[in-house]
Amino acid sequence: MVHISLTSLAFGVAIFSSALAFPTYEPLGLSERQLTEAASNKGGPGAKVPPPPPGPPSFTGTKLVDDAKHPWQPTRPGDIRGPCPGLNTLASHGYLPRDGVASPEQIIKAVQEGFNMESELARFTTYIAHLLDGNPITDLLSIGGKTPRTGPDPPRPAIVGGISNHGTFEGDGSMTRADAFFGDNSAFNPALFEEFKGFSNRFGGGFYNLTVAAELRFHRIQESIANNPQFSIVGFRHLTLYAEAAFPVTLFVDGRKTGAQAGHLDMRSAESFFKDMRFPKGFFRAAQPSGTDPSQEIFEAHPTVPGRNVAGVNTFTPDTSLGSFTDSCAFYTQFANKTIKGLYPNPTGVLRRNLNINLNFFYQSLGGGSESCPQVFPYGQN
């Protein structure tokens, strides 16, 4: 089970759960009205039965993705963008809805089509984000902040939660986004990008590669320990830190590059993705389905442990209580039974139905059906 590189990521898979004391429902993007209607089994305007995720595309080689059908366009007032340069780019090219609000189905299709992200990783990442931050009733997720309530009727029936929500998926120590403690945890941060370029010059001869990834990743953690009294990389964040450091190597480098050029991201392309949310001109996606494979290497260069500053800056204290190093089954089980159950303690009606459907899709993304890791049902089986 979980051959998405939870094997390669499995150095510190701790679990979100109780350390993240979420107030329930509203911050997730559910309005009171939706909850009432969900409980009555109607679901309210915009309620949807989540469709099954799309599988891998029929062609998985490299191809031009900065194509005529997907022209880059600047954001319009009201369009949402967030902390993920990959999803931002896909929205600005129309692989995702340009307003930045999408269903899991649309996200899974777009990351495979636009970047050649591995199919299981695409589903795994998307369902985690959707279960943590999305609106399970309307089956929509914002790629940035929570959407405003727009009134009683569609087009956007109510609030939709988003991935900028700090402490869920979004976390501290990002390469080009500030820690939430310092303010904007979602927008491109020019000063941090200068560090990104500085490290690429120092360790990569002007390119971002795995050596740079390892050094910058470690540096950003040390920097935050020294400056952010609330710094935390407990739980899932300890995993995503290393996954996200790998993506610029595996998914932002043009798929036609081979030999010494492969795995080396030039700074103009980096700026295009991180800052402009745009494919470099004439960009070809990765040559084969790709994702987090090198994250183990990035981690091993400077191993760290999950933990947080417990009493101000420079008080980093390891905290591995929320998971195990290599046990992906424990990760899945606790995510469903503790984290999601903690967010939604007593769902009823359509809400409960849709949570069950999404939890099932999440289980399937781990190579579901494995006898070694039985499926769990925090809300019962029907």
Binding site for ligand HEM (CB under 6 A): 83-87, 107, 111, 115, 117, 122, 125-126, 129, 163, 169-171, 174-177, 240, 244, 247-248, 251
- By beta-carbon proximity to ligand HEM, the closer residue of 61 and 374 is 61
Task: Please state, in angstroms and rounded to a whole number, the distance separating the CA atoms of residues 172 and 301.
Answer: 20
Residue 265's SS3 state is strand
Q: Give 177 or 341: the residue with its C-beta nearer to ligand HEM.
A: 177
Closest of 110, 102, 109 to residue 82, by C-alpha: 102
Please state the closest distance from residue 84 (CB atom) to ligand HEM, in A. Answer: 3
What's the CA gap between 182 and 374, in Å, rounded?
41
For residues 176 and 215, give the distance between their C-alpha atoms in angstroms, rounded to a whole number: 15
Nearest residue relative to ligand HEM (C-beta): 86
Q: Which is nearer to ligand HEM, 9 or 175 (CB)?
A: 175
| Residue 162, beta-bridge partner list | 142
- Give me the DSSP letters along 175-237: SSS--GGGS-SSS--HHHHHHHHHHHHHHHTTEE-HHHHHHHHHHHHHHHHHH-TT-B--THH
Question: Residue 26 Cβ, how far from ligand HEM at the closest point, in Å?
Answer: 20
CB of 173 to ligand HEM, least distance (A): 8
Closest CA relative to residue 99, chosen from 75, 121, 82: 75
The smaller minimum CB distance to ligand HEM, of residues 15 and 129, is found at 129
Name the pairing type of β-strands 141-142 and 307-309.
unpaired
Smallest separation, CB 35 to ligand HEM (Å): 24
Q: What contacts 326, CB < 8 A, 6 or more positions away?
A: 10, 11, 13
3-state secondary structure of 135: strand
Report in angstroms how near the CB of residue 168 gets to ligand HEM at its nearest: 8
Tokens of 66: 């900065």
232 phi and psi, to 5 degrees?
-145, 130
Q: How far is the CB of 310 from ligand HEM (least distance, A)?
A: 21
211/352 with CB nearer ligand HEM: 211
Q: Are 246 and 295 in contact (CB under 8 A)?
A: yes
Q: How far is the CB of 145 from ligand HEM (least distance, A)?
A: 12
Is 110 or 336 the residue whose CB approaches ligand HEM more closely? 110
Q: Judged by CB, which is closer to ligand HEM: 102, or 159?
A: 102
Decide whether 35 or 304 has the Cβ nearer to ligand HEM: 304
Report in angstroms how near the CB of residue 303 gets to ligand HEM at its nearest. Answer: 19
